[in-house]
Structure 1
């Protein structure tokens, strides 16, 4: 049984992939069960993520399904080994459901983010995050605030160290809205420019005047792709109390269309960097004049 007595994101991803490969091979669960000397119920539990498949069983199933790509085999066997692994984020205070999202984020090979009013979390500086959290009336404990800051920076470090592709569309208001501390604002814009120069990071700014695109998009969402695939396989949205992750193809398709519209309407990456530099220069001049 996966850690916590319920399916983990890793076990669900592994199970859904094995089910897809079995169906592509035109085999039923009974045939798969016989090949690994197990039961049909075991295959059902593996494919639903209720139990984590053992690496040996994964190896046999991939052999049965005709999967010959060593990279695919290695990845799925590693996923099986990690299915019950305790997440590093459990050392932090996290809201319900957030741990599942972080597990997905860590496994993602492409992350697409739309944020109309704030700098995306994975692109925030510690001071920027701290300023946001300090303004949250639901978080008053200074120790919890620091936990949130450290968790966000650790997520950022892992994504950047892994070279995960990150495509962010940010509303112009997120960059121009006044902040309590000008230095925090300037440092955040400078850091955003540095991140945008990374080969695996794309930042596009959606001008405030392009309200039509924002009208057609959800307020905030993040899409995740896995295993080097271009198409997103999960999408998350913040709610008042937690993060909701959707994996239904129909839902994901709607968000993918919205993100394509946002990207097409936003400034190009180079023009976006020019605008960020312009906003940063204006802040610096205002600060010097005051």
Structure 2
């Protein structure tokens, strides 16, 4: 599975912002300097800002002008920036599914996460779903065209390939009992067995039982993505299947605190495994 272009764009934008700030230039001043070097090009303060906020991809010619302005003259360092820009401009593995995934930002970032921490309320995490479970939930979400259902199931299964890589991310999933109660009986046994089978030291599941009562995670499901060399990101689910991707450090700290509280309230990994086994035995 290819590297994440989205992560590369985040990194390039962050590094260009740092370079500009290190030179003491404002976005307006940087644009003015760029205009002097390339008077035939459109350089405005807004362009610098769009590049630094990932709203505009940076072309190689523009990147080299910015590196000149920011004093990056070492050939190897310049080539590293250019390589990063080339990787950032590529399409992610999910591009062929963009008709059902839209921008695909979350899934693209998930590709390169080193750790995934999630709390799920209404359904099981996509990375831990069986085909039968995924198909049932997709149909329940209002998708009626069977070709689209199968394409959505397919992309969900492809996503799970990251868990079988040699450098698979560590996954810690806390699942509310609500999700288990909403699982139809005809697919529940297979799904429960799958949850038991996939667990290992780097993949853990905890159950948050109804008996806990009110708790810190009642506002809804979310995922925290951590990366080896880049800031973390939070993806919070919203009504209608859409989600909100957050990268602000204060927001990330808030969600990490919520996750800590939810994790403390949940059954331990061992207790959760026993809870799942009891539920499976009841079905059998």
Which deviates more from structure 2 when the two are superposed, residues 247-256 or residues 204-213? 247-256
User: Equivalents in 1 of 2:44, 2:115: separation in Å?
Assistant: 34
In structure 2, the CA distance between the partners of 1:81 and 1:202, relative to structure 1 (3 Å rule), is farther
For residue 202 of structure 1, what is the aligned residue in structure 2? 204
Offset at residue 46 of structure 1 (A): 3.9
For residue 145 of structure 1, what is the aligned residue in structure 2? 149
Alignment of 1:84 with 2:84, yes or no, is no
Alignment of 1:116 with 2:95, yes or no, is no
Q: Which runs of 5+ in 2 are unaligned?
A: none
In structure 2, the CA distance between the partners of 1:233 and 1:92, relative to structure 1 (3 Å rule), is closer
User: Equivalents in 2 of 1:113, 1:15: separation in Å?
Assistant: 27
Aligned counterparts, 1:95-244, within 5 A: 95=100, 97-136=102-141, 138-161=142-165, 162-181=167-186, 184-197=187-200, 199-213=201-215, 216-227=217-228, 232-240=232-240, 242-244=242-244
Task: Please tell me whether the aligned partners of residues 95 and 241 of structure 1 are also in contact (alpha carbons under 8 angstroms).
Answer: no
Offset at residue 283 of structure 1 (A): 1.4
Offset at residue 188 of structure 1 (A): 0.7
User: Equivalents in 1 of 2:101, 2:276: separation in Å?
Assistant: 35
Task: Please tell me whether the aligned partners of residues 110 and 224 of structure 1 are also in contact (alpha carbons under 8 angstroms).
Answer: yes
User: Equivalents in 2 of 1:93, 1:45: separation in Å?
Assistant: 23
Task: Please tell me whether the aligned partners of residues 127 and 156 of structure 2 are also in contact (alpha carbons under 8 angstroms).
Answer: yes
Task: Please tell me whether the aligned partners of residues 167 and 202 of structure 1 are also in contact (alpha carbons under 8 angstroms).
Answer: yes
Offset at residue 23 of structure 1 (A): 7.1
In structure 2, the CA distance between the partners of 1:53 and 1:234, relative to structure 1 (3 Å rule), is farther
Task: Please tell me whether the aligned partners of residues 139 and 149 of structure 2 are also in contact (alpha carbons under 8 angstroms).
Answer: yes
For residue 57 of structure 2, what is the aligned residue in structure 1? 51
Runs of 4+ in 1 over 6 A off after TM superposition: 37-42
Alignment of 1:17 with 2:14, yes or no, is yes
In structure 2, the CA distance between the partners of 1:22 and 1:43, relative to structure 1 (3 Å rule), is same
In structure 2, the CA distance between the partners of 1:145 and 1:78, relative to structure 1 (3 Å rule), is farther
Aligned counterparts, 1:269-288, within 5 A: 269-284=269-284
Offset at residue 145 of structure 1 (A): 0.4
User: Equivalents in 2 of 1:196, 1:24: separation in Å?
Assistant: 45
Cα deviation 1:91-113 (Å, max 9, x = unaligned): 22544645122112112222111
TM-score, reference length from structure 2: 0.76
Cα deviation 1:11-40 (Å, max 9, x = unaligned): 541234304643785654778x89xx8889
Cα deviation 1:95-142 (Å, max 9, x = unaligned): 464512211211222211111221111110111101112223x31111
User: Equivalents in 1 of 2:174, 2:83: separation in Å?
Assistant: 32
User: Equivalents in 2 of 1:43, 1:175: separation in Å?
Assistant: 48
Q: Which runs of 5+ in 1 are unaligned?
A: 1-7, 285-290
User: Equivalents in 2 of 1:82, 1:126: separation in Å?
Assistant: 32
